[in-house]
């Protein structure tokens, strides 16, 4: 039986070999004909799937190269903008000029952040992201991130509950990225909340979970918009954004939580989200305590 593509082109032949050929009726030939059609359709679908994967791979390469090429001029532009901003602040200039330069710097930072996220997504999708593991004090890292955010988000307060020190083995840059992203989200999605953003760091040893291995648990709770129960399972999907956030006009790429989840998984941990009873969101992640 010939194997024909949907467009009628010839692909190959389905053969049945037997040392004692049987006398086949029309029904038997009909079965062979259906088998030939199924095989040809499956082979064609596989070819199309391979072509689609190659196209997606090429597109990811283009995005990665574009993001990489954009980052350097953007960083240079941000540096020049910051130099100009410092100069005009020292001189008597129109307030509108200072405000304009501040807005320009903020826009460039957001664009650099987006290019970094695109690069990370490309590395994650192509399995080229690597971790530089070393011993570090997680408490010190959290305090550093919170200190930076206090300067950039003076309208928000933070409440820390941590031990004096807690040593983990992790990639400091990537873990800083995760914590900063989670706190940025807590700030962004609780714009009018007067309650502090709560940060709790603890250790857990549960013989019934994680094979009894001790875990580090970091919890970040805000009292902002929160999410619907049905959205919890989708929060860490790539480019997912809740309808409430879009209606509120809160900007975002939908990459942050997706990247954070992949980075925590690369560290051998887990990340999850829970609703807060009085409004808001609680996001927690665990890491192995070495």
125 shares a domain with 138: no
H helices present in the chain, as ranges = 26-90, 95-125, 138-152, 172-188, 243-247, 256-266
Confidence at 63, pLDDT banded by 50, 70, 90: low
273 shares a domain with 168: yes
163 shares a domain with 138: yes
Q: What is the pLDDT of residue 168?
A: 93
Q: What is the pLDDT of residue 207?
A: 46
148 shares a domain with 36: no
Of 79, 104, 129, the residue at which a domain comes to its end is 129
182 shares a domain with 99: no
Rounded to whole angstroms, what are the CA distances from 14 to 24, 61, 181?
16, 39, 56
* Lowest mean pLDDT across 7-16, 172-181, 216-225, 246-255: 246-255
The residues that bridge with 201 in the sheet, in sequence order, are 218
109 shares a domain with 143: no
174 shares a domain with 42: no
Q: What is the pLDDT of residue 58?
A: 58
pLDDT at 209 over 60: no
Tell me which residue range forms the domain holding 24.
Answer: 1-129
pLDDT at 3 over 50: yes
In DSSP notation, 229-250 reads GGGGGGTTSTT---HHHHHTT-
Rounded to whole angstroms, what are the CA distances from 218 to 52, 111, 211, 276?
40, 29, 19, 16
Of 90, 109, 129, the residue at which a domain comes to its end is 129
Q: What CATH number is given to the structural domain containing 218? A: 3.30.565.10
Q: What is the pLDDT of residue 20?
A: 79
Q: What is the arithmetic mean of pLDDT over 226-235?
A: 85
Confidence at 115, pLDDT banded by 50, 70, 90: confident
46 shares a domain with 166: no
23 or 153, which is more confident? 153
Q: Please, are residues 180 and 199 in contact by the beta-carbon 8 Å criterion?
A: no
Task: Calculate the CA dihedral of residues 167, 173, 174, 176 and round it to 10 degrees.
Answer: 70
pLDDT at 285 over 90: yes
Q: 8 in the Ramachandran plot: left (φ > 0), alpha (ψ -120 to 50) or beta?
A: left
pLDDT at 278 over 90: no
Of 99, 129, 159, the residue at which a domain comes to its end is 129
pLDDT at 141 over 90: yes
263 or 246, which is more confident? 263
Most confident by average pLDDT, 22-26, 50-54, 113-117, 211-215: 22-26
118 shares a domain with 37: yes
115 shares a domain with 152: no
Q: What is the arithmetic mean of pLDDT over 122-138?
A: 84
Q: What is the pLDDT of residue 204?
A: 81
Tokens matching residue 151: 């300067």
272 shares a domain with 152: yes
Confidence at 67, pLDDT banded by 50, 70, 90: low
Note the pLDDT tens digit of each residue in 150-198.
877 888 999 999 999 999 999 998 999 899 999 988 998 888 778 899 9
Q: What is the arithmetic mean of pLDDT over 68-94?
A: 73
Q: What is the pLDDT of residue 133?
A: 92
Query: What's the domain count of the chain?
Result: 2
Which secondary structure element, helix H or strand E, spans residue 285, and what is its range? strand 281-288
Q: Please, are residues 240 and 185 in contact by the beta-carbon 8 Å criterion?
A: no
267 shares a domain with 252: yes
**HEC secondary structure over 52-80:** HHHHHHHHHHHHHHHHHHHHHHHHHHHHH
**How confident is the prediction for the chain on average, in pLDDT?**
81
């Amino acid at each position: 039986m010939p194997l024909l593509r949907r467009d009628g082109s010839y692909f190959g032949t389905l053969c049945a070999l037997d040392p004692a050929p049987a006398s086949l009726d029309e029904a038997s030939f009909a079965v062979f004909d259906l088998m030939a059609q199924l095989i040809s359709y499956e082979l064609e679908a596989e070819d199309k799937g391979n072509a689609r994967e190659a196209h997606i791979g090429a597109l990811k390469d283009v995005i990665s190269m574009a993001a990489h090429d954009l980052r350097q001029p953007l960083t240079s532009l941000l540096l020049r903008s910051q130099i100009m901003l410092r100069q005009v602040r020292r001189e008597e200039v129109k307030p509108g000029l200072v405000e304009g330069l501040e807005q320009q710097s903020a826009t460039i930072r957001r664009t650099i952040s987006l290019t970094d996220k695109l690069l990370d997504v490309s590395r994650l999708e192509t399995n080229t992201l690597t971790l530089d593991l070393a011993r570090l004090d997680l408490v010190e890292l959290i305090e550093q991130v919170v200190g930076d955010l206090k300067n950039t988000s003076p309208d928000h307060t933070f409440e820390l509950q941590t031990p004096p020190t807690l040593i983990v083995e992790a990639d400091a840059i990537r873990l800083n990225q995760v914590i900063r992203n989670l706190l940025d989200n807590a700030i962004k999605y609780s714009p009018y909340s007067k309650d502090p953003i709560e940060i709790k760091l603890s250790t857990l040893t549960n013989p019934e979970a994680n094979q009894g291995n001790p875990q580090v648990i970091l919890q970040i709770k805000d009292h902002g918009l929160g999410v619907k129960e049905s959205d919890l399972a989708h929060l860490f999907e790539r480019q997912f954004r809740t309808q409430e956030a879009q209606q509120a006009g809160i900007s975002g790429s939908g990459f942050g939580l997706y990247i954070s989840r992949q980075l925590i998984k690369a560290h051998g941990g887990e990340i999850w989200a829970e609703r807060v009873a009085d409004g808001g969101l609680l996001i927690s992640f665990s890491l192995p305590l070495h």
